[in-house]
């Protein structure tokens, strides 16, 4: 067969400075969202010649943690390393020392890395990674998944706290451990996981010499708040690395006796992060809720190609607070300028990704000037999921125009992706993932043909072994993103895994929907508080006397459910222990049944007072 050889291109590229995204807490004074704060936007060039080999800055990979009553000593154990990070447990000061300074009396244990530190009521805590799992190799660099963590107190005792402070500190610790137990933290000690292949290729040698902490895309660095003390001291940067949150799968695959590496990376943004019903829409800076950048990478014979898509909440100011109803009514803000936030969001999207096609999968009409609307439920009702091809065909010209990133074995950049698809449904989970998997497959078809892996006329769908890997990986991606945002696995994954809707899939969707209902109403407030605490949206003051955790509930929260349960129990008792006559039994049962129903109606009417709402950050003020 004749192989297609793409020709090198030369174009001027404006690279997004990693400091473009600056976390500013809950307020911000008139900052132009299209420019970095106090940072110029460097202009870099992609040339037709191979990029010179530049040794990337790395972080240490192996550590020992030595603990004494006064200090922590984090010893770098890489070959030839002599540095030791010393952390004073009283002053919290961090300094650099040598191995000769480690006291022999300390308690020693190996750790996999430093996640960071955080201040709680009892004082500062050190968060370390204690176990990791190898996911695979990306461009020759090992990618790790952080599996287990430990949260170690700087203080040796809690005797300086009151009883209430001890309880609050315990609650805050539970929040931190809750976030850390959420599956999906990944890192690399000698490679930048926070950037796409195309962003990394369009960089200068100076950028590659920056530490991983300095050059990381701050949108996706989930331990940025925890590392603020280390970031402030450049000499300590080798002791830490950025950790992303999301999903990564790396699979060696074979088609036509040709082995290639297929990789899927989803990076969750830590800006406007949160849970399903408490974080919707965008904020004043244009950051969208549940924003995820998904990159599909293929590596074959030192050449690689990547295709990037994004998802995110509908980019205007809206909310959907839980209120005990199965589907709370979405509310669109009437007091804010939607176009201002919308403009900020897409100015940053265009700056980073180029042209945009918005795929709106909601069952509502979207203005054609904004994007492509596809009523998912209407078009695919009655198990007609083959009709998804209608949407794929409708945007095929855009996908061909935007292309994908490609560089060859010589390091030449031959193709660049000039635009992305931004997909959304209500939650940006289930339907969004289905569409993204179809678009990614279409891109992959072209990539594998150009690489010579697929023969002319061959289709990916015909490669049974690879198709199974592909579908299961995208379904796992859906589950990971759904658990991180909605608290349960994704819906509709039976279609992603098998290519068709099944009756068992409908049953599992119903089960997951019930679990989502419970979690969204009765546990998501705590999860939202945990995320806000972890990311620094709420800062605990040491020895804080009165925390928002002790906000008192209204009397209705305790009284009405008790009355409802008592009335319901009395109704059941009346039916079991029948009276002398049927009329008497029916009268008692009807009375208590109506009393129970009335209490239930009152509870639902006041639903927002009975759900588990966030206490640390008032989300209404952030919308």
**Would you say residue 371 has pLDDT above 60?**
no
**Would you say residue 236 has pLDDT above 60?**
yes
* Mean pLDDT for the stretch of residues 65-72: 96
Work out the percent of the chain whose per-residue pLDDT is above 70: 84
Single out the residue of 588, 468, 483 nearest to residue 527, CA to CA: 483
Task: Supply the pLDDT for residue 375.
Answer: 63
How would residue 134 be classed by pLDDT, with cut points 50, 70 and 90? very high
**Would you say residue 31 has pLDDT above 80?**
no
Q: How far apart are CA 538 and CA 614, in angstroms?
A: 11
Q: Calculate the average pLDDT of the chain.
A: 85
Q: Is 253 left (phi over 0), alpha (psi -120 to 50) or beta?
A: beta
**Would you say residue 25 has pLDDT above 60?**
no
Task: Supply the pLDDT for residue 266.
Answer: 98
Asked whether the beta carbons of 278 and 524 are under 8 A apart, the reply is: yes
The residue that leads in pLDDT, 10 or 355, is 355
In terms of average pLDDT, the best of 29-33, 117-121, 541-545, 609-613 is: 117-121
Q: Phi and psi for 397 in degrees, rounded to 5?
A: -65, -40
CA distances from 485 to 3, 182, 249 (A): 44, 10, 19
* Mean pLDDT for the stretch of residues 71-76: 97
How would residue 385 be classed by pLDDT, with cut points 50, 70 and 90? low
pLDDT tens, 331-356? 998 888 899 999 999 999 999 999 99
**Would you say residue 39 has pLDDT above 50?**
no
pLDDT tens, 484-525? 998 888 776 776 677 777 777 788 888 888 988 888 899 999
Task: Supply the pLDDT for residue 373.
Answer: 62
The residue that leads in pLDDT, 575 or 399, is 399
How would residue 588 be classed by pLDDT, with cut points 50, 70 and 90? confident
Q: How far apart are CA 500 and CA 148, in angstroms?
A: 36
Task: Supply the pLDDT for residue 129.
Answer: 98
**Would you say residue 181 has pLDDT above 60?**
yes
How would residue 17 be classed by pLDDT, with cut points 50, 70 and 90? very low
Asked whether the beta carbons of 336 and 317 are under 8 A apart, the reply is: yes
Pairing of strands 372-373, 355-360: parallel
**3-state per-residue secondary structure call for 32-75:** CCCCCCCCCCCEEEECCCCCCCCCCCCCCCCEEEEECCCEEEEE
Task: Supply the pLDDT for residue 40.
Answer: 32
Task: Supply the pLDDT for residue 554.
Answer: 75
Single out the residue of 87, 80, 36, 32 nearest to residue 58, CA to CA: 80
How would residue 445 be classed by pLDDT, with cut points 50, 70 and 90? very high
* Mean pLDDT for the stretch of residues 315-328: 91
Which helix (H) or strand (E) element contains residue 194?
none
**Would you say residue 426 has pLDDT above 90?**
no
Task: Supply the pLDDT for residue 376.
Answer: 60
**Would you say residue 616 has pLDDT above 80?**
yes
Task: Supply the pLDDT for residue 12.
Answer: 28
What six digits make up the tokens of 325? Answer: 């109803």
pLDDT tens, 466-481? 999 999 999 999 999 9
Task: Supply the pLDDT for residue 540.
Answer: 93
Q: How far apart are CA 449 and CA 455, in angstroms?
A: 6
Task: Supply the pLDDT for residue 1.
Answer: 39
How would residue 42 be classed by pLDDT, with cut points 50, 70 and 90? very low
**Would you say residue 542 has pLDDT above 90?**
no
What six digits make up the tokens of 337? Answer: 């300028």
Task: Supply the pLDDT for residue 378.
Answer: 63
What six digits make up the tokens of 565? Answer: 């349960």
**Would you say residue 216 has pLDDT above 80?**
yes
588 DSSP 8-state letter: H
How would residue 79 be classed by pLDDT, with cut points 50, 70 and 90? very high
What's the predicted TM-score (pTM) here?
0.86
**Would you say residue 69 has pLDDT above 80?**
yes
Which helix (H) or strand (E) element contains residue 30?
none
Asked whether the beta carbons of 307 and 298 are under 8 A apart, the reply is: no
Position of tokens 């030369």? Answer: 10
Q: How far apart are CA 623 and CA 616, in angstroms?
A: 15
Q: How far apart are CA 262 and CA 264, in angstroms?
A: 7
């Amino acid at each position: 067969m004749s192989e297609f050889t793409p020709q090198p291109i030369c174009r001027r590229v404006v690279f997004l400075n990693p400091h473009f995204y600056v976390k500013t807490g809950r307020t911000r004074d008139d900052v132009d969202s299209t420019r970095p704060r106090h940072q110029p936007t460097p202009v870099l060039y992609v040339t037709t010649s191979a990029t010179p080999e530049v040794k990337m800055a790395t972080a240490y990979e192996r550590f020992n943690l030595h603990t004494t009553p006064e200090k922590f000593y984090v010893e770098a154990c890489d070959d030839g390393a002599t540095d030791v990070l010393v952390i004073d447990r009283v002053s919290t000061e961090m300094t650099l020392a040598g191995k000769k300074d480690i006291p022999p009396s300390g308690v020693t244990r190996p750790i996999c890395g430093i996640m960071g530190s955080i201040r709680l009521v009892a004082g500062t805590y050190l968060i370390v990674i204690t176990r990791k799992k190898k996911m695979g190799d990306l461009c020759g660099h090992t990618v790790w998944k952080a599996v287990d963590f430990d949260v170690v107190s700087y203080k040796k005792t809690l005797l300086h706290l009151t009883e209430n402070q001890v309880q609050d500190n315990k609650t805050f610790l539970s929040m931190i451990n809750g976030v850390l137990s959420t599956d999906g933290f990944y890192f690399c000690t000698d490679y930048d996981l926070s950037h796409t292949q195309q962003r990394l290729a369009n960089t200068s040698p100076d950028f590659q010499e920056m530490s991983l902490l300095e050059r990381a895309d701050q949108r996706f660095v989930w331990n940025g708040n925890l590392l603020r003390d280390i970031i402030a001291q450049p000499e300590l940067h080798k002791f830490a690395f950025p950790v992303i949150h999301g999903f990564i799968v790396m699979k060696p695959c074979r088609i036509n006796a040709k082995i290639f590496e297929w990789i899927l990376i989803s990076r969750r943004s830590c800006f406007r992060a949160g849970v399903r019903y408490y974080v919707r829409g965008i904020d004043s800076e244009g950051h969208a809720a549940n924003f995820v950048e998904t990159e599909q990478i293929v590596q074959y014979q030192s050449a690689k190609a990547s295709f990037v898509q994004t998802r995110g909440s509908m980019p205007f100011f809206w909310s959907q607070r839980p209120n005990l109803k199965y589907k709370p009514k979405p509310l669109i803000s009437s007091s804010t300028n939607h176009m201002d936030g919308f403009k900020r969001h897409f100015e940053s999207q265009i700056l980073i990704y180029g042209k945009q096609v918005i795929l709106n999968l909601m069952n509502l009409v979207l203005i054609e000037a904004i994007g492509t609307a596809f009523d998912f439920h209407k078009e695919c009702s009655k198990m007609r999921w083959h009709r998804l091809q209608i949407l794929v065909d409708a945007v095929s010209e855009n996908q061909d125009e935007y292309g994908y990133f490609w560089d060859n074995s010589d390091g030449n950049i031959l193709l660049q992706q000039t635009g992305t698809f931004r997909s959304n449904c209500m939650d940006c989970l289930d339907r969004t993932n289905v569409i993204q998997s179809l678009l990614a497959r279409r891109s992959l078809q072209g990539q594998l043909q150009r690489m010579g892996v697929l023969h002319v006329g061959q289709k990916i769908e015909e490669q049974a072994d690879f198709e199974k890997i592909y579908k299961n990986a995208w379904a796992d991606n859906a589950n990971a993103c759904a658990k991180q945002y909605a608290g349960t696995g994704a819906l509709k994954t039976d279609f992603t895994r098998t290519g068709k809707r099944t009756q068992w899939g409908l049953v599992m969707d119903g089960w997951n929907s019930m679990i989502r209902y419970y979690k969204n109403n009765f546990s998501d407030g705590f999860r939202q508080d945990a995320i806000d605490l972890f990311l620094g949206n709420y800062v605990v003051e040491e020895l804080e006397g009165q925390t928002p955790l002790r906000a008192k509930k209204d009397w209705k929260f305790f009284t009405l459910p008790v009355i409802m349960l008592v009335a319901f129990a009395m109704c059941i008792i009346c039916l079991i222990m029948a009276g002398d006559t049927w009329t008497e039994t029916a009268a008692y049962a009807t009375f208590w049944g109506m009393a129970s129903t009335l209490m239930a109606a009152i509870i639902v009417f006041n639903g927002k007072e009975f759900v588990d709402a966030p206490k640390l950050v008032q989300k209404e003020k952030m919308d």
